[in-house]
């Protein structure tokens, strides 16, 4: 038999996990469908310093909360689901966390951040051909791996959403 406080904690964590997963998916998705396309459409001597500035600005507490907090909240929701014997909730939230860590965090650390660090050392204006080559060498792999991150974060969001819906009690349990 589950206790009401644990059930309420689970549902609160489930909703927080959904919110975090949605926020980080939205972050990666925005880069996919607007930011990088806009930068690709401009002069590389404009795109390079713009991307350098965006990469520098993303190192902030708001982003850190979403990026690093998402797997923590997903894991907490899975643990709370385990505590109240919501087996599908355990599976869904743990799977969402694993998918996010392997599909979004790992590529960020292993690929996107090193690409950002390589771009950071360039000092525009560069000769036009050099700027174009440098931007293409950066943008193409960065966008591919950002697409991977967006798909993984979207999958985590779907799993978390299903975890909230699957319990069917979230809205009532929080009242």
pLDDT at 167 over 90: no
Mean pLDDT of the chain: 93
**pLDDT-based confidence at residue 169 (cuts at 50, 70, 90):** low
pLDDT at 41 over 90: yes
What is the residue range of 146's domain? Answer: 4-170
Q: What is the pLDDT of residues 64-99, one digit of tens each?
A: 999 999 999 999 999 999 999 999 999 999 999 999
How many domains in the chain? 1
- pLDDT mean over 50-56: 97
Can you give the pLDDT at residue 166? 83
Residue 92 included in any domain = yes
**pLDDT-based confidence at residue 162 (cuts at 50, 70, 90):** very high
Residue 118 included in any domain = yes
Residue 175 included in any domain = no
Residue 85 included in any domain = yes
Name every residue whose Cβ is closer than 8 Å to that of residue 58 and which is 6 or more positions away in sequence.
none
**pLDDT-based confidence at residue 168 (cuts at 50, 70, 90):** low
Residue 22 included in any domain = yes
Residue 72 included in any domain = yes
Residue 26 included in any domain = yes
Query: DSSP of 132-170, one letter per residue?
Result: HHHHHHHHHHHHHHHHHHHHHHHHHHHHHHHHHHHH--H
């Amino acid at each position: 038999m589950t206790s009401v406080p644990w059930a309420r904690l689970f549902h609160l964590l489930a909703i927080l996990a959904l919110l975090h997963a949605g926020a980080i998916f939205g972050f990666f998705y925005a880069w996919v469908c607007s930011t990088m396309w806009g930068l690709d459409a401009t002069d590389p001597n404009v795109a390079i310093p713009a991307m350098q500035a965006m990469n520098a600005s993303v190192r902030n507490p708001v982003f850190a909360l979403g990026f690093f907090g998402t797997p923590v909240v997903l894991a907490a929701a899975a643990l709370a689901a385990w505590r109240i014997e919501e087996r599908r909730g355990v599976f869904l939230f743990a799977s969402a966390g694993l998918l996010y860590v392997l599909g979004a965090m790992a590529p960020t650390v292993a690929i996107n951040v090193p690409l950002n660090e390589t771009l950071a050392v360039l000092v525009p204006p560069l000769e036009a051909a050099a700027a174009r080559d440098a931007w293409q060498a950066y943008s193409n792999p960065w966008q591919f791996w950002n697409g991977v991150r967006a798909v993984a974060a979207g999958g985590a969001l779907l799993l978390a959403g299903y975890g909230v819906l699957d319990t069917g009690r979230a809205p009532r349990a929080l009242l």
